[in-house]
Structure 1
Amino acid sequence: MPRTLTADLRAHVGESVTVFGWVHTLRLQRRMQFVLVRDHTGTVQVTHPRGGEGDPIEAAFESLTAESAVKITGRVVDAPQVKLGGLEIVPERVEIVALAEAGLPIDEHSGPDHRLDWRFLDLRRPAAQLVMAVQTTVEQAMREVAAEEGFTELHTPKLMGTASESGAEVFEVGYFDRTAYLAQSPQFYKQMAIAGGIDRVFEIGPVFRAEPSFTSRHATEFTGVDVEIAWIEDVEEVMAFEERMLHRVLTRVAERHGEAIREHFGVQVTAPALPFPRITMADALARLRATGWDAEGGRDDLDPEGERRLAALVAEEYGHAFVYVTDYPAAVRPFYHHRRAGDPGVTASFDLLWKGVEITTGAQREHRYEVLCTQAREKGMELAPLAQYLDCFRYGTPTHGGFGLGLGRVLMLLLGLPSLREATFLFRGPHRLTP
């Protein structure tokens, strides 16, 4: 008999169906046996009156353990007294696909690190599966907008012959008779595509950062969403595209998962108003310092506390959870960021904060070869390791700009999760390379 998902049982009342799933709980009473069976769409109660000696269903249920994999064939009955969907299955046949060992290694009291050790069991939780379902919708919505607006999706190399940007915070790997590096970002390759005449570039792929960070929002491997747009007049075009993309993302998530997210996470998902508020870095610093805040070391940049405070100020003034912080000083931005014509100490760049957490860094890029070389030297960088990258700007490269967004951070904030670990299928950090 073909499989019927628990979410579809209402359409089969009075019929015999087969459900595949895991034993969620067992209540084996003196007269009745109740087994809750869970699949990825929900849970159903299976109710069996004991038949006495020789009853194969009774014997099968007595042998079951929590999280055993089973196939249950039975008649779907309308049962208003059952809190779980008002339905139950009266079993006709029970197949034990795989019996789980008694005594599960994790339970609802297990800490996050222990749960990660047994991630395949942890993923069986409906809330954990919802995270992955939401991630799928988020990526689909991003690709939907990119396709509508003429983007080409690329897959850039993750093995590099030279360390990207400054060479800091990169993983070295053995590569035959030499050393290779895991890509910190597809930034250079996106710009190579722009120089190659692909006007709009889009990628969702892995990013590697050798940062010894132990915060709730850092990982050594994460999924990045990267965009690059050619022939722009100003960085505002890049910011406007990201707004449209995120608006579509949150609209789709609310449509498909809004009720489930409220049930499991207590979060109301709503699409944000457009446009997002903008504030220059100079203005942001002035406002924050007026509240008594100052960055560590007096730098003209935002630390996590500054981001949280700024988000609170914006929420109070604009009633908005998003804010673009623009016009970062050149001193705190990479050499390839375009500098404002009237103020070379300021870059045409931005960070996007959501709920007080940075989720995006972007900018207009410098497209002129001579200027790029000058700005790299100003940062104390040697030009030789950058030769292949710089070559892309020697033969006529258009104005362009783009951004990189952390998918895990978006999921973490969207669902109100306490850590990036819970927004990632298999987390990687300084002390975690398993499972």
Structure 2
Amino acid sequence: MISVDALAVDLGDERVLDGVSLTVDEGDFVGLIGPNGAGKTTLLRTMNGGLTPRQGTVEVDGRDVHQLSSRGASRLVATVPQTTQLSFDFSVREAVEMGRTPHRSRFDTWSATDQEAVDAALARTAVTDLADRPVTDISGGERQRVLIARALAQTTPVMLLDEPTASLDINHQVRTLELVRDLVEEGKTALAAIHDLNLAAHYCDRLVLLSDCRVLAAGRPAAVLTEPNLQAAFDTNAVVSRHPVTGSVYVTALPDVGVTPGEDVAGRIHVVGGGGSAARVLYLLSAAGYTVSAGALNEGDTDAETARHLGLDLVTVPPYAGVDESTRAAVESKVASADAVVVTDIEVGEGNLPNLDVAAAADHVVLVEERPFEERNFAGAAGTNAYERLRRDATVVDTRDVVSAVQAALGEADPVDGTETSVDGGASSPRRTPSFPHSPSSNES
């Protein structure tokens, strides 16, 4: 449906797109991703005929859009702009009726076909009830649906959307992309610039990654959203895993560790985590140059997926299973060979009590506390006793101090001034706000 070949676009003296080629099949939803300034908006404006390229072609349904009149191009491509601002007090219906402009001359009367297209667009985007209200009086999410309705009223085979979720809250982001996804299922072809990589991965059939004026990668989300591609395009450290609920590719951007990997670092660290609480810790320790192992973790756990992506030594048990004797022995072996053990802010149930018991026997324990233990203890008195034993000789920190605490434990840095707290959450000194959210599950090991 869309074919872009060797496209080069200049804005003033600056080359914004250089040799861009891509295709979009009929009935596909393709996400256009990339860092700010990569040329996403410029590409969309060129594809709808709004900008003339220095070289290259854009064909939609076999027709070169730059050989068509503005009206002709608008019969092939409808654009939903980035901004939801509509300055004049048009009613919602009047705003949607503007979508019929490419199909009417100045002298045409309003036809039954026009009316049917507008009514269908209002109904499809669920804004019929807003038809008589001024567009300036409705919410941003409602205005976004009005702009999509206006594009639908154009009755084009292709819809281009420029950051359709950028100014919306999460509820309206999901509703907007669900609507586009449904329109594609009904036969529309859509290309959308999307800044949220996880939303793009979840909703789009394919992704096109722009970087340095060119297409860096294109294909299925799993093939495009890789750690090397994200590093090259966004200059960021990231872990790519599968979302535990949706199964979609999921990107977690991580901060720099403040040290050069492998620089004067030697040591083995075992991490006890679960439910996503260890993902950042695994990354930080690995990036700092330590040899890291993890477990025991349930197969499918977010931390297990992170460990695999980082290429770490991993001990696992089946989903929802507890730590049995053979698995405990495997964990004991990892802890015995480690120079220090890090236990993250995990939820504790009967299934992962052996992890705590084994960790408590280590010579150096770093314990991450970001929530009161009573909020994450599902093992009753046995859990409290195991945690008290573990905590007795541990260095207690929050996630941001893990690397420095490990360095101190191994004699590589000054000791960390950990905050002393009781198991019930009482603190003798102020705690810092946790810096990394996680997704706990009461049955995670």
User: Shorter-chain-normalised TM-score: which range?
Assistant: under 0.3
More strand by share: 1
Query: What TM-score do you get using the length of structure 1 for normalisation?
Result: 0.26
